[in-house]
Amino acid sequence: MIPLAKSTRAVLKNCFDLKPDESLLIVTDKSLADVGETIWKTAIRISKNSLLLKFSNGTDNQLPEAVQGALAQANACLILTSKALDEQTFDKARQNGSRILVLQNATRTLTERTFETNYKKITNISRKISDLFSIGKSLQLQSPSGTEAWLTISRIKGIAETGVVQQAGEFASLPAGEARVILNHKYINGVVTIDRVAGTKKLANPITLNIKEGEITQIKGGQEANELRKAIRKFGPAGRQIYEFGVGTNPCVKLGNSAQEDEKTLGAIHISFGQNKTTKVHAKMVQAIKGILLKPTLRVDGKLIVENGKIVV
């Protein structure tokens, strides 16, 4: 594994294109203070206007107001937190033109793996596939586990998750590496069989989802299917609606390390159901559930894009 100091330099140059006269604010919570120190020591060699801010308070899904204000004063902001954050916490900074890069649910090892990435390669693949999504009308999805589903994506813009934030107000999450679409959930039909749920070990038995007009009508499988039924109840009716479809484009991460890496793994496909929300009682972020398909085959308007888990465009 490349030392964190060296991979940090690649992130600052390739993701931010950080200039010597620009200001960089590195923000970490107290559990990641040592990681922040390592990043800062590298950053000041590129820009003397690099600052490290460590915080210990705030809600589970929002940065403290003082931190939000500080972000709005910097040209570039690199945030590492051990919890999930609501993207609205960055609104003020983005409106002020700050470039934001965030790694959530972070650990030192996740940071090291995430930073060690070929961003140029990821950008090229992600943009190519997202462009195909933007101009495409329909997707056909298959997998060895039994998936056979069709998605209508006409007039839906593809999104490339590249980790590159070089224009004022841009925001990205790490790890990078995904091409996705936010679905009009009524336009997906068929059977989707998931081989694992992002952030968990591989399922003992695949879980089969019957889907009609974007709604999960039946969940079949063993004990893990029962656990999934229980997990989606906390979202209410939204828990059975398909909101997102994505293809992983990152060759430097592997399945089984973290939820973020699972969905970004090269050639893996995920569907997302339930939407991120904050609980009223404890103000905690409940994150969408993402089902991972292994060795999938994907066609856009009949054109082969992914074949048995290998991207072929």
Cβ neighbourhood burial of 265 (10 Å; 0-12, 13-18, 19+): buried
Parallel, antiparallel, or unpaired: how do β-strands 138-142 and 159-161 relate? unpaired
For residue 2, which amino acid is it? I
Residue 279 has pLDDT above 60, yes or no: no
Name the residue type at position 15: C
Q: What is the structure's pLDDT at 83?
A: 86
For the domain spanning 4-115, the CATH number is 3.40.1830.10
- Distance between CA atoms of 238 and 241, rounded to whole angstroms? 5
| Whether the predicted pLDDT of 281 surpasses 60 | no
Q: Are 178 and 249 in contact (CB under 8 A)?
A: yes
DSSP states of 192-222 as a string? Answer: EEESEETTSPPPSS-EEEEEETTEEEEEESS
pLDDT of residue 60: 64
- Per-residue pLDDT, 201: 83
What mean pLDDT comes out for the span 254-267? 93
d(CA 65, CA 89): 9
Predicted structure pTM score: 0.90
* Mean per-residue pLDDT, 118-147: 97
- Average the pLDDT over 41-61 and give the result: 88
Q: Are strands 159-161 and 277-278 parallel, antiparallel or unpaired?
A: unpaired
List every span in the chain annotated with CATH 3.40.1830.10. 4-115
**pLDDT range class, residue 276, cuts 50, 70, 90:** low
The per-residue pLDDT of the chain, averaged, comes to: 91
For β-strands 76-80 and 24-29, DSSP reports them as parallel
Q: Give yes or no for residue 62 having a pLDDT over 90.
A: no
Burial (CB count within 10 angstroms: exposed 0-12, middle 13-18, buried 19+), residue 292: buried
Type of residue found at 120: K
pLDDT of residue 54: 94
What is the average per-residue pLDDT within 102-124? Answer: 92
pLDDT score, position 285: 42
Structure token pair of residue 135: 């101009």
Structural contact between residues 258 and 196, judged by C-beta atoms closer than 8 angstroms? no
Q: State residue 179's pLDDT score.
A: 98
The residue type at 131 = D
Say if residue 44's pLDDT is above 50: yes
Query: Which residue has 């889907």 as its token pair?
Result: 211
Main-chain phi, psi angles of 296, to 5 degrees: -80, 165
pLDDT of residue 56: 82
What pLDDT, in 10s, does the model give residues 179-225?
A: 999 987 688 999 999 999 999 888 999 999 999 999 999 999 989 99
User: Which of 109-118, 203-212, 284-293 has the highest average model confidence (pLDDT)?
Assistant: 203-212
Digit-coded pLDDT (tens) for 2-42: 789 889 999 999 999 999 999 999 999 989 999 999 999 99
Residue 155, both tokens:
């007039």
Asked if pLDDT for residue 171 goes beyond 70, the answer is yes
